[in-house]
Chain A
Amino acid sequence: MTDKNSPVLRVDNLESYYGPIMAIRGVSLEVREGQIVTVLGANGAGKTTLLKTISGVMDPEKGTVVLENEQIQGEEPDRIVNRGMVHVPEGREIFPLLTVAENIAMGAYTRSDQQDINRDTEMVYSYFPILKERMSQAAGTLSGGQQQMLAIGRGLMASPRIMLLDEPSLGLSPLLTEEIFAIIRRLNEEQKVTMMLVEQNAAVALGVADYGYVMELGRIVMADDAATLAASKDVQEFYLGISQDENQRGQRRWKQRKTWR
């Protein structure tokens, strides 16, 4: 059934606006079966907008989004979730007053196969045992890392063919980030979840990804195998091995130098 040659997700020449502001300027990319593809970019590059446009939360002005050979751009998110694509949003976005278990159950909203849902619930709890411990607690009382786990677990409950992850490392300690990315890698290997992972934290994202894109001001400016990207001088200079407080300055220089154009 899976045609290795046709990507699970293909985006062609996508353009998205906030009113008059063009946030996505003709982005094209591909995610193949079983891959983890990362999109790196500084704050404001348009990564979140790109994911929102792909998952149907925003409508594009131009371009196509093809999920398993069918065009889905402009469709409502509930249709798109049903088709097998789920979006784990930036900043967790859990349901704070619902319990952990209810949050997880909401992830399966578009499904009705109760037996499979129960099986997937157990699968989620096996990857995130802390969520099982806290299942009857209000989700808003969880720590940031636990909320991120809940957001990923809730996304898994849609039984997705492809999962869009928006900055899962945001606001987490390096240790927690490592833990979450280890689980992301396991989910990809063991559950065969194809992933599109958007990150500012290039080191950790390139660590798990097969392929990567670099985005700047709404455009893709680099694309290559993760290992090649990690070895490239530009990525090393501007994305890897710089400390947090140097980040701002680093981004400015990044804009001045665009050696790849």
Chain B
Amino acid sequence: MPGAELGGKRLDFVQLIVSGLANGCVYGLIALGFVMIYKATEAVNFAQGDFMMLGAFFCLGFTNADFMGLNFWLAVPLAMIFMGILGYVFDWGVLRHMSGQSQTSIVILTIAVGFILRFVAGTVWSHEPVSLETPFAGVNLDFGGVVLGVNELLIIVVTIILTVALFVFFSRTKLGIAMQAASQNQLAAYYMGVPVKRIQSLVWALSGVVAAVAGILFASKGAIDPSSGLLGIKAFAAAAIGGFGSLPGALVGGLIIGLIEPLAARFAPDGFAGVARIAPYAILIIVLIFRPGGLFSQTQKKKV
């Protein structure tokens, strides 16, 4: 029956979109981490994807029966706290001593840190893919024939909540506004008595927490292994699409990439299924050609 098949296709399409959005949320959250650190410190953290991977492994290490077997809802905040501390300590203990070094050496340092984190995660937890044991694993909801995984819906809901929370933090709290101030004009922030270095370490802590959330969400959808963090490259593309200086841009860039992947796979002509893999980068190039500053580029030049 052609009608039923058409209806089936539409349901299938909804599932495709939801799953793409869920992936996009994870990319977007990693991109958010990139952009926060870039805005605050001018450094590009190429280990942001590995931070995400590590956050997932922390949670997994706390909650999986093979490891510590703690309650999942306890493991989540613990993983967030651990990643926050790691972000803070990395900036305070390592990067602060490199101030005055070129951006290139800091970028290379973060790449090296990524390798180290992959090695550490493999050694401490597992070199093989492991799945995160969540209370909602494999639970689906049926919306009149559209079957959606709870994990995917949760990813979208949690991302929305986190985005709103971050928005309120950056626009309403003294610390959040000080973070913005320090990123717009570091010198002026110094003059006003804002402890710029501590603020920067706190931004690293915050991006560690966001990375942990992204990692837990990512792992709730499937397995995680030490090289999962390499999807940080896609998040990097997402950040660039968004303009690399814009937090909303990072999220939108993530969603664009999340959606384009399954859509490209679905609608690619026969024999070109691999196009899905290059689609994020093709989009990146198109955006950068037509809007070199990214979709959400800010016109104000930043002072350092």
Contacts and interface: CB of A to CB of B under 8 A. Distances in A.
A173 B174 CA distance: 35
A107 B300 CA distance: 21
B195 A76 contact: yes
Contacts of B178: 106, 109
Contacts of A88: 191
Contacts, number: 74
A94 B185 contact: yes
Interface string B173-203: 0100110110011011111111100000000
Contacts of B189: 95, 106
A105 B177 contact: yes
A216 B298 CA distance: 41
Most buried by A among B181, B188, B191: B191
Interface string A79-106: 0111000111100011111100011011
Contacts of B185: 93-96
B303 interface: yes
Contacts of B193: 77-78, 80-82, 86, 109-110, 158
Interface string A103-121: 1011101100000000000
Contacts of A81: 191-193
A206 B131 CA distance: 74
A98 B180 CA distance: 8
A10 interface: no
A124 to B, nearest CB: 14
Contacts of B191: 55, 57, 77, 81, 86-89, 93
A55 B193 CA distance: 10
A77 B190 contact: yes
A78 to B, nearest CB: 4
A95 B178 CA distance: 10
A97 B183 CA distance: 10
A142 B83 CA distance: 40
A87 B194 CA distance: 13
Contacts of A93: 185, 187-188, 191, 303
Closest 9 CB pairs of A and B: A81-B193, A93-B188, A110-B193, A78-B193, A95-B181, A78-B195, A95-B184, A96-B300, A87-B191
